[in-house]
Amino acid sequence: MNALAEAFRLIITLDADLFEILWLSIRVSLIALAISAVISLPLGTWLAITKFPGRKFCILVLNALMGMPPVVVGLLVYLLLSRSGPLGWMGLLYTPSAMIIAQAVLITPIIAALSNQVIENLHQEYRDTFYSMGVTGRRAVVAYLVDARYALTTCILAGFGRAIAEVGAVIIVGGNIDHLTRVMTTAIALETSKGNLTLALSLGTVLLVLSLLINALVIGVREYAAKRQYA
C-alpha cells in the first residue's frame, strides 16, 4: 500500500530522476524493438513459407533461444563489446547502445519464433492462392507480413514486454551508471540492495503502469484499424 502511494507521489510530483530513468527505459527498449523487428519478422516469415532441408531444425533452435537467460545474453554482449573484445574499439560498453544491442539480441528469437507460428498457420490457408498468383520469395514475405499485421502486434508486444522488463543483461553491459545507463529495472535492483523496498516496489508499480499503457495503446490502435478496414 505504501508502495502504491509512493508510486503515485513520484508520478504526480513529476520526479525528475524518475522521468529520466523512465524515458531511458522506453527509448532503449523501443529502439531495440525496432531493430529486432526488422530482422525477426522477415526471418520468422521466411522460415514459415520456405521449404529447405534443416528448416525444422532452424525453427527448433529459434524456439529454444526464446528461453535464453538474459544474463547469458548480457555476458556474450559484454565480451563482444569489452575493450579487449572484438568490438571493443567502438567504445560502446557502458552506454545505452550496449543495452540496445543486448535487448535486441534477447528479443529477436522471441519475435521470430512467435511470428513464425502465426505465419505458418496463415500459410496453410494461402499457400495455393499465392502459388497460383506466382507470389514467391521476397514478395511473398512482404505479402504475408502485411496480411498478418494485426496478429503480429501480439508478437511484437511480447518482445517489447521482455525487453523493458529485463534486468540481467542491461546491468552487465550498461553498468547501471547514474544519469547514463540507469533504467527502471536496474534502479529497482539497486534500491532493493539498499534495502529501500518500498521505493523499489513503487518503481516496479510505475513500470507496470507504463507497460499497461503501451499495451492498451497498441491494442487500441489495432482494434480501431481492424474495425475501419472491415466496416
Binding site for another protein (CB under 8 A): 31, 35, 82-85, 87-88, 90-97, 100-101, 175-178, 180, 190, 192-197
b/e sequence 116-135, b meaning 16+ C-beta within 10 Å = bebbbebbeebeeebeeeeb
Q: Which residues contact 182 (CB under 8 A, 6 or more apart)?
A: 21, 24, 174, 176, 190
Which CB sits closer to another protein, 9 or 194? 194
Rounded distance, CA 89 to CA 85, Å? 8
Q: How far is the CB of 58 from another protein (least distance, A)?
A: 19
**Of 30 and 219, CB closest to another protein:** 30
Query: Which triple of cell numbers denotes residue 36?
Result: 529486432
Interatomic CA distance for residues 189 and 166, integer angstroms: 11
Compute the distance between CA of residue 113 and CA of residue 79 in angstroms, rounded to an integer.
26
Nearest approach in angstroms of CB 88 to another protein is 7
**Closer residue to another protein (CB): 106 or 119:** 106
Unique residue bearing C-alpha cell 495455393: 128
Least distance CB 77 / another protein (angstroms): 11
Which CB atom, from 102 or from 207, has the smaller least distance to another protein?
Answer: 102
Contact 110, 70 (CB under 8 A): no
Give the cell for residue 230. Answer: 472491415
**DSSP class of residue 135?**
-
Residue carrying the nine cell digits 505479402: 143
Least separation in angstroms between CB 207 and another protein: 19
Q: How far apart are CA 41 and CA 91, in angstroms?
A: 30
Closer to another protein by Cβ: residue 84 or 129 = 84
Smallest distance from another protein to CB 107, Å = 15
State which residue, 76 or 135, has the beta carbon closest to another protein. 76
Q: How far is the CB of 65 from another protein (least distance, A)?
A: 17
